[in-house]
Amino acid sequence: MFNIFKRLWQVNWAEQWQYRANLAMYILYWLVSPIIYLSVWTSIATANGDVNGLTANDFITYYMILLIVDQLTSNIIIHIFGYKVQDGSLSGELIKPIHPMLTNTLVNDIAFKTLNMMLLIPIWIGLTLLFKPQFDSVSLGGIALAIPAIALGYAINFLLSGIITSLAFWTTRVYSIHEFYYALIMLFAGQFVPLQLMPAVIQNIARVLPFQLFMYLPIQIIQGNLSAQEITQGYVTGILWFIAALIGFRIVWRRGVKQYSAVGA
Amino acid sequence: MSSESIIVEQLSKTYQVPEREGGFGAAVRGFFKRKYKDVKAVQEVNFKIEQGEIVGFLGPNGAGKTTTLKMLSGLLHPTGGTANVLGFTPWELKPDYLRSMTLVMGQRNRLAWDIPAADSYLLAQAIYRLSDDDYKKTYKELDELLELEPLMKKPVRNLSLGERMKVEIAAGLLHRPKVLFLDEPTIGLDISGQVKIREFLREYNKRTGATILLTSHYMADVTALCERIIIIHHGQLKYDGGIANLSRRIAPFKLIGVRLALSEDEGLGDSNGRDLSKYGDPVQNEEDAEKVYVRVKAEDVTKVTSRMLSELPIHDITIADPPIEDVIERAFNE
């Protein structure tokens, strides 16, 4: 199995590398919205002294960490995989003795992510010089504690996106469904606004949803804002969602492949 | 264990195709309630193929060849009947089955486009769990037969069509499949390219004892490789047997094509309109409108040709086998 992933990595890495100019444009596009939120919240906090106890520096560090965490937990499988179903190129992969989504697509996404990080890091350093965040509350221990949460966030996001992408077996409208999913992430993962500024109702909902693992939870762990109990709660919720997403994915995938092979692969 | 590697019984596939009339009203109605039409692509087909056989699978476009190959390779669920390949039910997509067969579609690429084939081959080695020794041995054999080495380091997109086909076919064979489903493996290739692939398949079959089921539009592929052919038409099995028998039924025909030299006052239309029916059955050929074709019994070809040469102002003359589509059409629509 390790050998398969090693070879998949070589192929996908070489392929992604071909599209590095494309990636640079993608990164610039993707950077726009977090930087807008960062700027808006920072200027409000500066004008008022703070927003519900959050200072300008809190917002800056929040969004600077978000840039990294979001990049690590997000995925592009809707783009990698959706069209393969529609144009039939999935057929060649389906008759290979490995799972197309959990091997090839996964590795392709990780290769994409790795290249993105290589582009993002210099930009991130530049932004640090521009916004001058004070990472006083960030500790190595916090980062170490957040890494499993980021991995869990990535896994859940991948599987949920995988479920949505698998809907391509039935409908060509997966992109609009995915847009809706993305809107949920924007709201409940804490991209528009750090979740602690949301009304209590939304915070309570967000706590039982998986989306906070994509951004808010790891960021808060890194910032050292959470108690041991809150962190444990976050992890438990995440693990439950991971199991649910895995089961859901397997069911949808199996039925989807059956559907695909019923209508004409 | 029986020596049959493929057993197909009553295999059927009916597609439901959405159907609507043109126009706005129909589009709106179609949005709420779709109508479907049943298209019977394959109807209750039966055949058995012995291990090591090379069988040509023929039929006009839309006859159900590709649908059948897709079912046998596991990509499609049938709507009826059963198939057993190497003891497996293909559409269960069991990894052990997928490791022992291959499907090569001439019009589809399986190799990554932007990187050299060598990388994709190493990936295949890992996916099919081939030991280094096995992989190297198979690769060496394929390289001997197809001269792959010079093509390995270039990105696949920079290969010519013929080169790409070689690399694609070899990629499908690295795991030494026991059953090969080949859909138009020579499509788009020039004659020497076709010959190379053909020779390769024959040699591969001899060396490995693999079972091969192939479709092709080139009669030469089939006559060179297959002793047995299966013909389907409108999804139904029409013929299953030796190619020699079929030839006796249909090959007595040749096509003679002539281009007539025009005198200056004679328009092309007159030339086309010239009645050649006294030489044989006139045949329409849309690809080459300047030529007029007649279908002639094989034993009469010499006679008719010399008559035409003496009686007509011939500019150019060709004698050819009728295209396979015509042969099949003719054999079963008569």
Residue B150: closest CA among B117, B104, B124: B117
Distances (CA, A) of B258 to A141, B269, B288, B295, B314: 87, 15, 11, 12, 7
Query: Which residues in chain A touch residue B101, judged by CB atoms under 8 angstroms apart?
Result: 95
pLDDT at B259: 82
For testing contact with chain B, the best of A6, A10, A16, A95 (most B CBs within 10 A): A95
* Whole-number Å distance between alpha carbons of B202 and B223: 12
Between residues B288 and B230, which one has the greater pLDDT? Answer: B230
Q: Do B15 and A263 touch (CB under 8 A)?
A: yes
Distances (CA, A) of B155 to B112, B125, B334: 9, 19, 49
Same fold, B4-110+172-248 and B252-333: no
For the segment B296-315, what is each residue's pLDDT rounded down to a tens digit? 888 888 898 888 888 888 88
Name the B residues in 276-305 with CB < 8 Å from any A CB.
none
For the segment B156-195, what is each residue's pLDDT rounded down to a tens digit? 999 998 899 889 999 999 999 999 999 988 887 888 888 8
Q: What is the DSSP-derived secondary structure letter of residue A234?
A: H
Highest mean pLDDT (candidates A52-56, A67-71, A257-261): A67-71
Token code pair at residue A250: 């397997």
Q: Could you tell me if B91 lies within 8 Å of chain A, comparing CB atoms?
A: yes
Between residues A22 and B290, which one has the greater pLDDT? Answer: A22
Query: Which residues in chain B touch residue A18, judged by CB atoms under 8 angstroms apart?
Result: 114-115
- Per the CB < 8 A criterion, the answer to whether B224 and B202 are in contact is yes
- Per the CB < 8 A criterion, the answer to whether B203 and B145 are in contact is yes
Q: What distance in Å separates residue B36's CA from the closest CA in chain A?
A: 12
Query: Which residues in chain B touch residue A8, judged by CB atoms under 8 angstroms apart?
Result: 123, 126
For the segment A214-227, what is each residue's pLDDT rounded down to a tens digit? 999 999 999 999 99
Q: Which residue of A has its CA nearest to B94?
A: A97
Residue burial B22-44, b: 16+ Cβ < 10 Å; e: rest:
eeeeeeeeeeeeeeeeeeebbbe
pLDDT at B269: 44
For the segment A133-148, what is each residue's pLDDT rounded down to a tens digit? 999 999 999 999 999 9
Q: What distance in Å separates residue A95's CA from the closest CA in chain B?
A: 6
pLDDT at B268: 45
Q: Which residue of A has its CA nearest to B75?
A: A261
Q: Which residue of B has its CA nearest to A14?
A: B115
* Whole-number Å distance between alpha carbons of A121 and A99: 32
Token code pair at residue A146: 């957040």
Q: How big is the A-B interface in CB pairs under 8 Å? A: 75
Residue A27 has pLDDT above 50, yes or no: yes
Q: Could you tell me if B123 lies within 8 Å of chain A, comparing CB atoms?
A: yes
Name the A residues in 84-143 with CB < 8 Å from any B CB.
88-89, 91-92, 94-98
The answer, as to whether pTM is greater than 0.90, is no
Between residues B328 and B220, which one has the greater pLDDT? Answer: B220
Q: Could you tell me if B156 lies within 8 Å of chain A, comparing CB atoms?
A: no
Q: Could you tell me if A172 lies within 8 Å of chain B, comparing CB atoms?
A: no
Residue A259: closest CA among B76, B70, B88: B76
> In which residue are the tokens 């629509």 written?
B333
Task: Provide the percentage of residues in chain B whose pLDDT is more than 90.
Answer: 44
* Whole-number Å distance between alpha carbons of B2 and A257: 31
Q: Compare CB distances from B115 to A6, A15, A94 and report the shortest one's residue.
A: A15
Task: Provide the percentage of residues in chain B whose pLDDT is more than 70.
Answer: 87
Token code pair at residue A177: 């469904």
pLDDT at B251: 59
Q: What is the ipTM of this complex?
A: 0.83
Highest mean pLDDT (candidates A161-170, A237-246, B214-223): A237-246
Query: Residue B276's pLDDT band (boundaries 50, 70, 90)?
Result: confident
Neighbours of A201 (CB within 10 A): 8
In chain B, the DSSP E strands lie at: 4-19, 35-50, 54-58, 80-85, 101-105, 179-183, 211-215, 228-233, 236-242, 253-260, 281-283, 292-297, 314-320
Residue B43 has pLDDT above 70, yes or no: yes
Q: Do B123 and A7 touch (CB under 8 A)?
A: yes
Residue B110: closest CA among B64, B68, B173: B173
Query: Which residues in chain B touch residue A89, judged by CB atoms under 8 angstroms apart?
Result: 108-109
Domain ranges of chain A: 2-263
Q: Compare CB distances from A264 to B76, B110, B125 and report the shortest one's residue.
A: B76
Q: Which fold has domain B252-333?
A: Alpha-Beta Plaits (3.30.70)
Q: Which CATH class is domain B4-110+172-248?
A: alpha beta
Distances (CA, A) of B167 to B70, B198, B203, B252: 22, 14, 17, 38
Sheet containing B35-50: order of strands = B35-50, B4-19, B80-85
> In which residue are the tokens 């995915």 written?
A178
Neighbours of B12 (CB within 10 A): 18
For the segment A184-195, what is each residue's pLDDT rounded down to a tens digit? 999 999 998 999
pLDDT at A183: 94
* Whole-number Å distance between alpha carbons of A114 and B50: 50
Domain ranges of chain B: 4-110+172-248, 252-333
